[in-house]
A and B are shown apart, each in its own frame.
Chain A
């Protein structure tokens, strides 16, 4: 792969990303807020993922140039941390907490039920891009274990039935 790296100076002056995507402006603002500091890489990646949903190669290149960092370093950091995803996510996300408290209260059963229903394994997205099934290390919601996060909303005391009925709604709506 050959890529020419343009100097960051041209980039800072560029009024708009060639794609015309306005989100790059917001990203630029965040990078500027951090004064182009290289140690703000993780913060910038957080912002980028918040804006775009995931980090594709072009975006990582863009950040590397803006912070004057070698692309290998940016890619290395983006792949090191679990929070960053390099693939697009489904319309809905279901995160099953696999922390210890949830695990001994049957989180593995919840996950199996969800996997069976959605037809994908944990970490994957359904073919129709309706649902991403994920696991979390621990949400710190151990008092209400087992916990599942549906589109950012934490729900406690879950059972295989409650998980499945929730997921069915999303999956049915997607095919219908």
Chain B
């Protein structure tokens, strides 16, 4: 494959397009609301109306407003239809020629869409995820070509470093630093691993990214492989995401066929193979050392670090592990330059972040905003505030490793440092809105039960500590606890946090500690009155 060929594929795709595109969301959220039937019906309606020359129906990735699915968007006009049924399809097609559509119209200019900035999701909802031509027409794989033919591996790493990109899996480790560590590590074989084990309950960013634009992640991984000197990549993906797995398999097949992956990528000496590894339902496998054990076909139990994967990872070889969203950021950085990327965000947290906004909020769905956007903007403007008028009490970020941030701190900008200061973490990007009806003690127990079940059992502080913490929280909820129990709860949190082997145990107390910090009165109100 030469650059000219790549550009020709893109050109062919663009010129074969009809003037009007009827984009029907076929990401998992809308699919389960019945968008497949809607897409079929739209296709039939276009044919019935004899508009094949003017309009075409495309199955696209996430159109973001998941709570109103199935969604249909008309390009280039931008008309949006919500909760579309197959019966409404003829009306939508008739509306193209001035007819009346009986489907519910959405507002494409509402703050939900207007306040978002698309970097990672620039193709999301615009291209057809199961067709590589669609990605190439949007400029896909040009970054990989540029990296291979115009840059040395060191220059690629330097560009990533200068962009200021930090790991999107939650911890925020500078990506450029990690890449250069793997590049410098000695070893004949190296690996690149994409962590798509999105285990946080209430988070679906990675699923949406993979379902909407799988090639972008593959391209990012290939660039990483070139930069660090790896020839083999793995995508470790949750078994609970069948749609994303299917689209990745299709994407891999297409990229291999066109010579964009495999041996001699873009006719260069660089070879890069990517294989899928399907997870089997273990939250701890999101932890990098456990994830590697799982790729090797063993039980997903973590091991102490150091050595870090960058020195000794898969089968003892230097291994680069990044999150889906981190890899999805790479093609943009290479194509448009690190300065373009660094213009988004704050001093220390560059770029944008994708969140999955859910819970008791009016507009639930996929949201991308520049780093440093306040929680208030995300929850109240983009999310449209409370769903039924009940005042919002808090948002939970970071899943079972994160914490709850109360409504009075909503003016906090979202970046790695600010959220850590508040006792939560950025996490991979789940934002769950809770209102006055939600009991924070109950939420804390919910997460503790999760961690208790998901603890792999290797180290005692996590295995036994989470059980004891769960017991204490249950005791509080059952109004059998005394003031002394609260003290014991805090002590035990401290112990589990400092003595556990891996991130799961170390962060398991976070939901308890953050709710104790901001909603202590809820705990105290549940204490049994001392007998007089």
A contact set with B: CB distance below 8 Å? 37-43, 45-46, 73, 76-77, 80-84, 98-101, 103-105, 136-145, 147, 153-156
Contacts and interface: CB of A to CB of B under 8 A. Distances in A.
Contacts of A144: 29, 32-33, 66-67, 69
Contacts of B28: 139-141, 154
Contact of B280 (A42, A136, A155): A42
Nearest to A139: B240
* Residue picked from A39, A136, A138, A143, most chain B C-beta under 10 Å: A143
A63 to B, nearest CB: 11
B415 interface: no
Nearest to A137: B201
B280 A46 contact: yes
Given A99-B201, A104-B438, A42 B294 contact: yes
A143 B365 contact: yes
B300 A142 contact: no
A145 B32 contact: no
B204 interface: yes
A100 B295 contact: no
* Residue picked from B201, B239, B295, most chain A C-beta under 10 Å: B201
B443 A104 contact: yes
B198 interface: yes
Nearest to A97: B201
Contacts of B282: 80-82
B198 A156 contact: no
Contact of A143 (B29, B238, B239, B296): B29
A88 B165 CA distance: 47
B386 to A, nearest CB: 13
Contacts of B438: 104
Nearest to A74: B297
A77 B203 CA distance: 26
A101 B66 contact: no
Contact of B281 (A82, A98, A145, A153): A82
Interface stretch (B50-58, B318-326, B355-363, B485-493): B355-363
A84 B300 CA distance: 14
A39 B201 contact: no
A72 to B, nearest CB: 11
B510 to A, nearest CB: 14
Interface residues of B, number: 54
A77 B202 contact: no
Interface in B255-286: 277-283
A153 B298 CA distance: 30
B96 to A, nearest CB: 27
* Residue picked from A105, A142, A155, most chain B C-beta under 10 Å: A142
A101 B278 contact: no
Given A100-B430, A105-B359, A41 B207 contact: no
B280 A137 contact: no
A39 B33 CA distance: 37
B204 A40 contact: no
Contacts of A103: 201, 446
Given A143-B364, A156-B33, 8 more contacts: A37-B297, A42-B277, A77-B297, A138-B204, A140-B28, A140-B198, A140-B204, A141-B32
B359 A76 contact: no
A46 B281 CA distance: 11
A76 B280 CA distance: 13
Contacts of B283: 137
Interface in B355-377: 356, 358-360, 364-366
Contacts of B238: 140
A43 B66 CA distance: 32
A105 B435 CA distance: 11
B113 interface: no
Nearest to A98: B201
A101 B297 contact: no
B450 interface: yes
B299 A153 contact: no
Nearest to A76: B299
Interface string B416-434: 0000000000000010101
Nearest to B301: A80
B360 A82 contact: no
A138 B240 contact: yes
Contacts of A82: 280-282
B214 interface: no
A81 B300 contact: yes
29 contacts: A39-B295, A42-B280, A73-B298, A80-B300, A80-B456, A83-B239, A100-B201, A100-B202, A100-B447, A101-B201, A101-B202, A101-B364, A103-B446, A104-B360, A104-B432, A137-B199, A137-B283, A138-B199, A138-B200, A138-B201, A140-B28, A140-B204, A140-B238, A142-B66, A142-B202, A143-B204, A143-B366, A145-B358, A155-B32
Contact of A142 (B299, B364, B443, B450): B364
Given A83-B281, A138-B202, A143 B297 contact: no
B341 interface: no
B396 interface: yes
A111 to B, nearest CB: 13
Given A42-B277, A104-B432, A104-B434, A142 B358 contact: yes
Contact of B203 (A84, A142, A153): A142
